[in-house]
Amino acid sequence: MAQLIKEGEMIIQQKPISRREMCAMLAGGTTALAMMSSSATAVEDKARGGKVLMPVGDATEVVDTLYPFFRIAEDGFNVVVAGPEARRYHMVLHEVPPNSVLPWDITEERPGYHIKAEVAFRDVDPAQYAGMFVSGGRAPEYLRYDKDLMRITRHFFEANKPVAVVCHGIEIVSAAGVIRGRKVTTVAKCALDAEQGGARYVDEPTVVDGNLVTTRTWHDYASCMREFMKMLNTYAGAK
In SS3 terms, the chain reads as CEEEEECCEEEEECCCCCHHHHHHHHCCCHHHCEEECCCCCHHHHCCCCEEEEEECCCCEEHHHHHHHHHHHHHCCEEEEEEECCCCEEEEEEEECCCCCCCCCCCCEEEEEEEEECCEEHHHCCHHHEEEEEECCECCHHHHCCCHHHHHHHHHHHHCCCCEEEEHHHHHHHHHCCCCCCCEECCCHHHHHHHHHCCCEECCCCEEEECCEEEECCHHHHHHHHHHHHHHHHHHHHHC
The pLDDT score that the predictor gives to residue 104 is 72
pLDDT (tens digit, 9 = 90+) per residue, 83-129?
999 999 999 887 777 887 888 777 777 777 899 999 999 999 999 99
Domain of 124: which CATH number?
Answer: 3.40.50.880
How far apart are alpha carbons 179 and 77 in whole angstroms? 25
The pLDDT score that the predictor gives to residue 226 is 97
The pLDDT score that the predictor gives to residue 47 is 53
Strand order through the sheet with 50-55: 119-120, 77-83, 50-55, 129-134, 163-166, 212-215, 206-209
The pLDDT score that the predictor gives to residue 94 is 76
How far apart are alpha carbons 140 and 175 in whole angstroms? 10
pLDDT (tens digit, 9 = 90+) per residue, 40-60?
333 444 456 799 999 999 999
Residues of the chain with pLDDT under 50: 1-15, 23, 27-46
How far apart are alpha carbons 121 and 104 in whole angstroms? 35
How far apart are alpha carbons 176 and 119 in whole angstroms? 20
> Annotated catalytic sites, by residue?
168
Count: domains in the chain: 1
How far apart are alpha carbons 47 and 61 in whole angstroms? 26
Q: Which domain holds residue 160?
A: 2-238
